[in-house]
């Protein structure tokens, strides 16, 4: 396992690298020319300054799916119309450039308003994170498919999406099942296609997102700031090794005013809950999800790894495709 403390994170666009990135999109039926790569700077548990390139993560937004037409047809029409709208807005109306990587049908509980059951949505993945703001504006303004879409997840920056999806926090460790170390630029006998260092860090490595282990550790209640919780835990272990007591402050006791205010809030909520108000739905909401065994509709909580294969089984000679 490879671990790296997350200190600084950014991203860049790069031509897909064989074995690390997708080279072909089955949804679009085209070769992929450029993919986003997330770059993490930090240090290993032993103190080595490191740079990690994470492949296989794409930015996305979510829009409601009405269910009025075939889902497959709706997804392809939406991708084509969105590509065209983006190209027109950039002053390249004759361009055939594709901005949408793929679209998948998902099921989840709408964030806005109260809903007692899951509904259907379309999750739109893009190649370039910098195009998200423009795409959201076009979707909301009715420039795509002649429909004004209600956007979900569009306000979340790409790096924050990555952190949320993979259970990562600043100053905590990212744990990976496997990585590929980069060679020095002037290393002798470099094989063709070997990745070389781009930074001055002691260690530099590449990894695919499917190998991130942090998401597997989500269980129970998390701390208010898990990043700080990790630092406190490390400090606690250090003090124990030195035979000292933990310096972490005890949990403060609730004051009488806090207890009284919480009781008053609960009483108000119970009173409002007992009032029956007839609400009139002004706009049609997404189709109700009726998933069954074998359904192609994914749960919204399922992380899409885009069929990337773990580096543990990667032999260095195979093209990776979606």
Q: Write out the residue range of the structural domain in which residue 130 sits.
A: 60-158+284-299
- For the segment 194-206, the average pLDDT, to the nearest whole number, is 92
Q: How many structural domains comprise the chain?
A: 2
Res 316: pLDDT: 41
Identify which has the larger pLDDT, 67 or 193.
67
Res 317: pLDDT: 36
289 pLDDT band, cuts 50/70/90, is: low
Q: 216 in a domain, yes or no?
A: yes
Res 116: pLDDT: 82
Res 319: pLDDT: 39
For residues 65 and 192, membership in a common domain is answered with no
Q: What beta strand segments (E) does the chain contain?
A: 2-5, 8-14, 24-25, 30-31, 35-43, 49-55, 60-64, 100-108, 119-126, 173-176, 180-181, 203-208, 298-299
Query: What does the pLDDT look like over 81-121, one tens digit per residue?
Result: 999 999 999 999 899 999 999 999 999 988 888 878 889 99
For residues 131 and 73, membership in a common domain is answered with yes
Q: 290 in a domain, yes or no?
A: yes
Res 219: pLDDT: 62
For residues 309 and 190, membership in a common domain is answered with yes
Q: Kindly report the pTM of this predicted structure.
A: 0.78
Q: Give the pairing type, strands 49-55 and 203-208.
A: parallel
């Amino acid at each position: 396992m490879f671990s790296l403390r997350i200190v600084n994170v950014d991203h860049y666009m790069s031509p897909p690298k064989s074995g690390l990135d997708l080279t072909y999109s089955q949804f679009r039926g085209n070769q992929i020319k450029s993919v986003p790569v997330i770059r993490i700077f930090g240090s290993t548990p032993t103190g080595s300054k490191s740079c990690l390139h994470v492949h296989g993560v794409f930015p996305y937004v979510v829009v409601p799916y009405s269910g009025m037409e075939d889902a497959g047809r709706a997804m392809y029409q939406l991708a084509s119309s969105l590509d065209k709208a983006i190209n027109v807005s950039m002053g390249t109306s004759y361009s055939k450039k594709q901005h949408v990587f793929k679209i998948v049908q998902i099921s989840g509980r709408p964030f806005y308003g109260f809903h007692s059951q899951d509904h259907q949505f379309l999750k739109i993945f893009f190649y370039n994170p910098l195009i998200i703001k423009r795409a959201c504006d076009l979707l909301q303004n009715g420039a795509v498919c002649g429909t004004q879409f209600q956007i979900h997840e569009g306000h979340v920056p790409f790096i924050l999406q990555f952190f949320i999806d993979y259970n990562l926090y600043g100053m905590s460790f990212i744990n990976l099942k496997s990585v590929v170390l980069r060679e020095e630029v002037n290393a002798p006998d470099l094989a063709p296609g070997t990745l070389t260092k781009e930074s001055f860090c002691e260690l530099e490595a590449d990894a695919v997102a499917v190998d991130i282990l942090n998401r597997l550790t989500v269980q129970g209640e998390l701390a208010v700031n898990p990043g700080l919780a990790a630092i406190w835990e490390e400090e606690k272990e250090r003090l124990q090794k030195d035979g000292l007591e933990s310096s972490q402050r005890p949990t403060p006791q609730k004051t009488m005013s806090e207890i009284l205010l919480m009781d008053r809030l609960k009483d108000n909520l119970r009173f409002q809950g007992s009032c029956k108000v007839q609400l009139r739905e002004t706009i049609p909401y997404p189709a109700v999800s009726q998933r069954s065994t074998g359904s192609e509709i994914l749960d919204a909580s399922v992380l899409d790894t885009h069929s990337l294969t773990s580096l543990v089984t990667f032999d260095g000679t195979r093209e990776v495709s979606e």
